[in-house]
């Protein structure tokens, strides 16, 4: 799973080990703005807004 800011820089990358179904990332370290989460093997991305 990758988290990217609106300007397309990768801010964090996490690997989910086989058998896991949940991954957490600390949004407290992100500045306000729009971020996108891309999950490898799936089309598209999910938008996250930090306010």
Q: How confident is the model at residue 36 (pLDDT cuts 50, 70, 90)?
A: confident
Long-range contacts of 10-14 (CB under 8 A, 24+ apart): 11/35
**Cβ within 8 Å of residue 16, ≥6 positions away:** 1, 22, 23
Q: State pLDDT tens for residues 20-34.
A: 888 887 888 788 888
Long-range contacts of 20-27 (CB under 8 A, 24+ apart): 25/1
Segments forming the whole domain that contains residue 42: 2-50
Q: State pLDDT tens for residues 7-21.
A: 657 777 888 888 888
**Which of 5, 9, 8 has the alpha carbon at shortest distance from 35?**
5
**33-38 and 10-13 as β-strands: parallel, antiparallel, unpaired?**
unpaired
How many domains in the chain?
1
């Amino acid at each position: 799973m990758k988290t990217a800011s609106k300007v397309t820089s990768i801010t964090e990358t996490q690997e989910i080990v086989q058998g896991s179904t949940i991954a957490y990332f600390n949004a407290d370290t992100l500045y306000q703005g729009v971020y996108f989460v891309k999950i490898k093997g799936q089309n598209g991305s999910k938008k996250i807004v930090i306010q």
